Structure 1
Amino acid sequence: MKWITLSAPLVLALAVSGQAAAADNAKASTGAVTTSVFGTLPDGRQARLYRFSNAHGIEMAVTDYGGIIVSLRTPDSSGDVDDIVLGFDSLEGYLSDAYRKSNPYFGALIGRYGNRIAGGQFTLDGQTYNLAKNNGPNHLHGGNKGFNQVLWNAKPFSNDKGAGVILKYVSADGEEGYPGKLDVTVTYTLGDQDTLSVEYNATTTKATPVNLTQHSYFNLEGEGSGSILDHRLMINADAFTPVDDTLIPTGEIRSVEGTPFDFRQATAIGKRIDEDNTQLEYGPGYDHNFVLNRPDGSKGELVQAARVTEPDSGRILEIATTEPGIQFYSGNFLDGTLTGKSGRAYGHRTGFALETQHFPDSPNQDGFPSTILEPGDTYHSRTVYTFSAR
C-alpha cells in the first residue's frame, strides 16, 4: 500500500447522533450546535453537552467535562447506525467510583502530557520537576487530575467550515507539577465536506513539556458489541519504541520487521496478540508507540497514520496526523466492571485506542523528538479522523 502526505482535509462518511441524556432537558441552539445540561459536578458546576451536525445531517456529541467525545454514531455498509465509541450516557458514569478506580480515559482530551513519564520526574534547564506517580512508578496522562478531569470553557460555533466546539483551558503554573502557565485551545470541527478535525494549540509562560492527544476507544461493530480482535489494522510505521516492564520506552527505535508489531499490511488485531513475545507480555497486549513514516520535508503536515476495518459491519476508520507517533492500545485493562451506553459491560479488549502523539517519556529521552514548548512559541497539532463503510 502506498502512504501519502495529505495536504488537505480527509473526507469521511460519518453519521453521528448524540446518545447522552441531560439531567435537565432544557436546550438551546447555536446555529448547528444544540446545547443541553449533561450533569452536575461535585462542586455544583454544570457540565454541558454539545451536539453538532454538518449540512448532510452528520452529528456528534461532546461534553465540556474533559473535552470528552461522548457519542459518535456511524452507518455500516447496510446503512444501519451504531455508536462506535465507548463511554456513558450521563456525567455520573464518568464520575463514578468504578470509573475513577480503573480510569480508562474514555473519549477524553489528555494533557499536559499524554502517555508516560518515567519515575514521575524530568529535568529541564537544570531544574528537576516531580510529578504524580499515578501509573505504578510512572506518571501517566497528566497526573492525578489531568485535562480529562477539568471543566473546559466551551464555545459552540457554526461557520462556512462547519460546526463544532472550541474548548479552552488555562493550566496554572505548577499544576500537577508542571512549570509555566499553559493556555490551551482544542477545536473539534465537523465540516460540510464530512471531515472531523481535532486541532490543538497552546502557549506557555515557562518552558514545559506538552503532548496533547485524544483518547477515544473505538469498536467499529458498535460499542458494547464485544471483542475488537477481528478488526483489521494497518499502521504506517516501519518502527516502534519498545518498552520496559513498566511500559517506559527503552530509547531504542526498533524495526517492526518480523515482529507482531508489523501492521504495515492489514492484519487482524488478534492474530498475533498472544504470541510468545516479551513486548506483548509487558502490554499485556499492544500498548506501544509507533514511529510514523513521514516523507522528508513533511514536518507539520498531515500524513496517513492508521487504517482500521471491521469485516462484519464494513466500517472503516482512517487517521491522519501532524504528529510523529501513534500509540496503539488494544484495551488490555478493560475487565467488565464498567457498563456503557448500550447497557453491556466493556470486557477485555472490547475497544481500541489510537492516540496520535509525540513519543512517551520524551522529556527523559534525548533521542526522541522534543516535546518542550518555549515561551513565545505556539504548540500546534492536528489530527483528522475519517469514517466510512463499504
Structure 2
Amino acid sequence: MEFSKKQFGELAGRPVYEYTLKNKQGLSLSALNFGGTVTGIRTPDRKGQFKNIVLGFDDIEDYVQYRPFYGCLVGRTAGRIDEGKFTLAGETYQLQQSEGKNHHHGGNPAFDAYLWDTALVEDGDTAHLVFSYFSPDGENGYPGNLDVKVTYTLTEANEWIIHYEATTDKPTLFNPTNHIFFNLTGNHEQTIKQHELQIRSDHVAEVRADLIPTGKLMPVEGTDFDLREPQPLVKAIESEHPQLKMNGGLDTPFLLTHEAAKPDVILSEANSGRQVVITTDRDAVVVYTHNGVSGNYQIDGKKVEPYAGVALETQQLPDAIHHQHFGHTILYPGEVFHSETIFQFEQDQ
C-alpha cells in the first residue's frame, strides 16, 4: 500500500492537507483533513484506464464558497430536522435553522467545514486515514460534548470502508454520513442519467416541498422509485411522479431491506463497465441526483451542471427524532456509536 501527503491549501492560516492511499491494483483514495472530504477515487474501467469517479474541487476556496457537500462528512445529523427543534430526555432544544426554518446537514458550519485531526495508519495490506473531531456542547444547538472518530480504510480488495465512532456526555442526536457524489464515467460533463441504480428497498420516505419527511413510508411497487432491479437514473429524473417531479429527480430516503451476504446498493455505468457495490449497517440510503447546482463553479476547468453526479448517503432516515418508526438516532452517555459502510469498486468484463 502506498500513501502520500501534500498541502492542498490554507484555511484561516492553517494548512489543509490532501492524503492519498493507493493499493497494489492502482486504485487510489484521496481525502482532505478539511471535513474528511474525499477529493478523488481513481478506479479503472474495463480497459484498465483509471479516472476519478467522484466530484471534487482542486482548491479549498471552492469548497468554502460553494459548499456543495462533495465527498464530505456530514453531521451531527445528516438531512433535515423539522424547524430544527426536538425534545430529548425532557429538554427541548432549538438547533440552528440553517435552511429556511429547518436544520440541514448539522448546520453551518458543521462537520464538512472544519479541520479534523488526521492520522495515517498502516496495517499490513490495508491503510487507514483516521479523522477525529471534538464537537462541544451547544455547537449549532446540539447538547453534549461529542467525540467523533471516522476511519477511511482502503484495502487490496478495492474496498473503501468508512467506520464511524462517537461518544457523548449528554443525550444527543447523531446520524452521520459521507456525502460522496459518483460519476462513473470519470467525466462530469457526461451526466449520470444513464447510470443504472439498484437498491434493496421496498419503501421510500415521502417528503414535503421543503424535503422534510412527512412520516409516511410509500411502497415503491408500481412507481419510478422501484429500483429493486437495476434502472437507468433518467427514469426517475424525468418521472411524472409528484415527488420526483417536485424535485427534478431523486432527493429521496430509501428504507433498506437488508439481506445477508447481498449488497444494499449497486451503481453501474455500461460504457466504462465500472460498478460501485455498497453494503451498510444503516437503515437507509438517501439518493440525490444533483438536481441543482449551488453556484457557477467548475471542475477541471469545466462548468458543473445538474445531474453531474449522484450522491449515495448511507444513514438512518432523516428527521427520525420526530418519527418513531424511522429508527434510532439518539446517542446516550456510556454508549459508543459504531457504524460501517463498505464501497466495493468493480468492473464488468
TM-score range, shorter chain: over 0.9
Whether the aligned pair in 1 keeps the contact of 2:54 and 2:186 (CA below 8 Å) is yes
Partner amino acid, structure 2, of 1:88: F
Distance 1:125 1:92 in 2: 40
Partner amino acid, structure 2, of 1:40: E
Whether the aligned pair in 2 keeps the contact of 1:319 and 1:386 (CA below 8 Å) is yes
Which one of the candidate residues 19, 23, 30 is aligned to 1:50? Answer: 19
Q: Does 1:386 align with 2:344?
A: yes
Partner amino acid, structure 1, of 2:62: G
Higher normalized strand content (fraction of residues)? 2
Distance 2:26 2:298 in 1: 29
Distance 2:88 2:287 in 1: 28
Distance 1:367 1:272 in 2: 26
Task: Tell me which residue corresponds to 2:190.
Answer: 226
Task: Tell me which residue corresponds to 2:314.
Answer: 356
Q: Does 1:325 align with 2:289?
A: no
Partner amino acid, structure 2, of 1:384: I
TM-score, normalised relative to structure 1: 0.86
Distance 1:272 1:325 in 2: 18
**Runs (5+) with no aligned partner, structure 2:** none
Whether the aligned pair in 2 keeps the contact of 1:86 and 1:223 (CA below 8 Å) is no
Distance 1:266 1:246 in 2: 28
Partner amino acid, structure 1, of 2:305: G
Q: CA deviation at 1:194?
A: 2.4
Task: Tell me which residue corresponds to 1:92.
Answer: 61
Whether the aligned pair in 1 keeps the contact of 2:27 and 2:44 (CA below 8 Å) is no
Distance 1:223 1:304 in 2: 26
Identical pairs, percent: 39
Distance 2:273 2:156 in 1: 23
Q: 1:224 to 1:336 in 2, by over 3 A?
A: farther
Partner amino acid, structure 1, of 2:4: T
The superposition leaves residues 125-160 of structure 1 with CA deviations (integer Å, 9 ceiling, x where unpaired) of 221111122223211110011100000000001112
Task: Tell me which residue corresponds to 1:15.
Answer: none
Q: Does 1:38 align with 2:8?
A: yes
Runs of 4+ in 1 over 4 A off after TM superposition: none
Partner amino acid, structure 1, of 2:326: F
Which one of the candidate residues 124, 139, 142 is aligned to 1:160? Answer: 124
Q: CA deviation at 1:190?
A: 0.5
Partner amino acid, structure 1, of 2:346: S
| Counterpart secondary structure, 2:327 | coil
Partner amino acid, structure 2, of 1:351: G
| Counterpart secondary structure, 1:326 | strand
Whether the aligned pair in 1 keeps the contact of 2:258 and 2:264 (CA below 8 Å) is no
| Counterpart secondary structure, 2:240 | coil
| Counterpart secondary structure, 2:178 | strand
| Counterpart secondary structure, 1:250 | strand
Which one of the candidate residues 315, 329, 347 is aligned to 1:371? Answer: 329
Which one of the candidate residues 191, 205, 208 is aligned to 2:169? Answer: 205
Whether the aligned pair in 1 keeps the contact of 2:236 and 2:244 (CA below 8 Å) is no
Whether the aligned pair in 2 keeps the contact of 1:165 and 1:189 (CA below 8 Å) is yes
Q: 1:303 to 1:249 in 2, by over 3 A?
A: farther
Q: Does 1:275 align with 2:244?
A: no
Task: Tell me which residue corresponds to 1:195.
Answer: 159
Q: Does 1:176 align with 2:140?
A: yes
Task: Tell me which residue corresponds to 2:98.
Answer: 134
The superposition leaves residues 104-139 of structure 1 with CA deviations (integer Å, 9 ceiling, x where unpaired) of 201100010011101111111221111122223211
| Counterpart secondary structure, 1:203 | strand
Count of residue pairs brought into register by the alignment = 348
| Counterpart secondary structure, 1:252 | strand
Q: CA deviation at 1:330?
A: 0.6
Q: CA deviation at 1:303?
A: 5.7
Partner amino acid, structure 1, of 2:270: P
Partner amino acid, structure 2, of 1:70: T
Whether the aligned pair in 2 keeps the contact of 1:336 and 1:347 (CA below 8 Å) is no
Whether the aligned pair in 2 keeps the contact of 1:335 and 1:348 (CA below 8 Å) is no
Q: 1:272 to 1:142 in 2, by over 3 A?
A: closer
Distance 1:182 1:63 in 2: 21
Q: Does 1:307 align with 2:276?
A: no
Which one of the candidate residues 330, 335, 344 is aligned to 2:302? Answer: 344
Q: CA deviation at 1:61?
A: 0.8
Which one of the candidate residues 48, 65, 68 is aligned to 1:79? Answer: 48
Task: Tell me which residue corresponds to 1:67.
Answer: 36
The superposition leaves residues 322-366 of structure 1 with CA deviations (integer Å, 9 ceiling, x where unpaired) of 1000001010112771201x2211101111001000011011112
Q: CA deviation at 1:285?
A: 1.5
